[in-house]
């Protein structure tokens, strides 16, 4: 295969398992969005609105779904153009890596055990009896506490803190500023002051998890806070002590999840959702942006608003809210008509006397 600076469509087709329609020897030197791709770029068209515009595209080649044709265009037909484009994009823009080895300014504790091809950046601090696997990258200023275990192919970005005894699986990415294993919020009041409850558990992060920048994931009071395989979190997410997050769940920015909540598989939390403690969120549930959830949620539910209600009902409520001023005026007009019909009778039981508010 050609190098990543120039690829032929034959190279790309082999990489993504696709079928070329057009010039298999066409050389592309970059990957770009559909709107801006030029004659030397490859792009993708996975949706009908882009497929309908293939003839007008200036791209040198386009990844398209199986069965799509366009006379005179260089196409690579694949099952999922968006996923295939990710593979191509990584060829042209491979992720940077730290230089292999341990920087002279890094501080390494006693009993450190590591696999092959590791990289530890400047001013990183690794505690006692830490174990890391193969090809691990620990970026500058990261802090790894005592007895932490880290798997293979893990990337720990600058200023990440992983505190004592926590466990990190394989192919995990932890972005800058995240704190793994801070104390959970555990206090007991005697009526005068709060007494701190020791947080003696750990955080366990399983394989293929990506943790966003400035996340805080608290250690358990006992046992473990558990982030299971395939979970992806956005920036500024807080996960409290003893939470269990199920496989392949997506947690968007500024979500807060309270302690001892159990989350199923393939759940989606949109931005700024707040989740109460000691509840269960079912598999494949979707929690909309800024929703507040205080009760357990069944499998497949889609909830919005505060308190969280079914999304379709929430949409109806929002439409009704916009009509409240006019409804209020209508009630006032009805009250005046009733007063003329039955002077001194007042509104029916349960209705406000809105005419007084109208002056």
Please determine whether the domains at 7-92 and 101-310 fall in the same fold group of CATH.
Answer: no
Task: For residue range 50-101, list pLDDT tens digits in order.
Answer: 999 999 999 999 999 999 999 999 999 999 999 999 999 999 999 899 999 9
- Spacing of C-alpha 81 from chain mean position: 22
The residues carrying an active-site annotation are 241
Residue 5's pLDDT is: 73
Say which CATH superfamily domain 101-310 falls into: Hexapeptide repeat proteins (2.160.10.10)
Specify whether the CB–CB gap between 108 and 102 falls below 8 A.
yes
Cα-atom radius of gyration of the chain, to the nearest Å? 28
Residue 329's pLDDT is 84
**100-112 pLDDT tens trace:** 999 999 999 999 9
* pLDDT recorded at residue 2: 42
pLDDT at 351: 56
What is the structure's pLDDT at 325? 84
Which strands make up the sheet holding 167-168, listed edge to edge? Answer: 113-114, 131-132, 149-150, 167-168, 202-205, 224-227, 244-245, 262-263, 280-281
Q: Which residues in the chain land under pLDDT 50?
A: 1-3, 355, 357-359
Q: What is the CATH code of the structural domain delimited by 7-92?
A: 3.40.1390.10
- Domain spans, the chain: 7-92, 101-310, 311-357
- Residues 176 and 141: their CA atoms lie apart, in Å, by 10
CA-CA distance, 212 to 326, in Å (whole number)? Answer: 45
Predicted local confidence at residue 190, as pLDDT? 96
Q: Which is nearest to 203 in space by CA: 250, 164, 229?
A: 164
Instruction: State how far the Cα of 282 lies from the Cα of 180, in Å rounded to an integer.
Output: 25
Contact 184, 218 (CB under 8 A): yes
Q: How many residues does this entry show for the chain?
A: 359
């Amino acid at each position: 295969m050609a190098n990543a600076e120039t690829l032929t469509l034959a190279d790309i087709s082999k990489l993504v398992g696709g079928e070329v329609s057009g010039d298999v020897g066409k050389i592309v030197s970059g990957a770009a969005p559909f709107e801006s791709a030029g004659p030397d770029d490859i792009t993708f068209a996975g949706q009908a609105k882009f497929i309908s515009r293939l003839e007008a595209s200036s791209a040198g080649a386009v990844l398209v779904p199986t069965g799509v044709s366009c006379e005179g265009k260089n196409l690579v037909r694949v099952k999922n153009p968006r996923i295939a484009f990710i593979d191509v994009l990584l060829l042209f823009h491979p992720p940077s890596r730290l230089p292999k080895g341990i920087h002279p300014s890094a501080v390494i504790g006693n009993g450190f055990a590591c696999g092959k091809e590791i990289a530890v950046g400047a001013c990183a601090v690794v505690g006692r009896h830490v174990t890391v696997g193969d090809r691990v990258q620990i970026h500058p200023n990261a802090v790894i506490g005592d007895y932490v275990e880290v798997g293979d192919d893990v990337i720990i970005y600058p200023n990440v803190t992983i505190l004592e005894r926590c466990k990190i699986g394989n192919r995990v990415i932890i972005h800058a500023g995240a704190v793994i294993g801070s104390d959970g919020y555990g206090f007991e009041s005697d009526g005068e002051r709060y007494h701190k409850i020791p947080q003696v558990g750990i955080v366990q992060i399983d394989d293929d998890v990506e943790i966003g920048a400035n996340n805080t994931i608290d250690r358990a009071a006992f046992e473990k806070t558990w982030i299971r395989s395939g979970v992806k979190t956005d920036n500024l997410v807080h996960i409290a002590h003893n939470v269990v997050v199920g496989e392949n769940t997506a947690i968007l920015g500024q979500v807060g999840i309270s302690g001892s909540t159990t989350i199923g598989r393939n759940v989606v939390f949109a931005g700024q959702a707040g989740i109460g403690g000691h509840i269960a969120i079912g598999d494949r549930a979707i929690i909309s942006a800024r929703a507040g959830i205080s009760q357990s949620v069944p499998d497949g539910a889609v909830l919005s608003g505060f308190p969280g209600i079914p999304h379709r009902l929430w949409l109806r409520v929002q439409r009704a809210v916009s009509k409240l001023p006019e409804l209020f005026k209508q009630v006032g007009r009805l009250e005046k008509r009733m007063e003329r019909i039955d002077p001194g009778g007042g509104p029916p039981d349960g209705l406000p006397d809105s005419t007084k508010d109208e002056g």
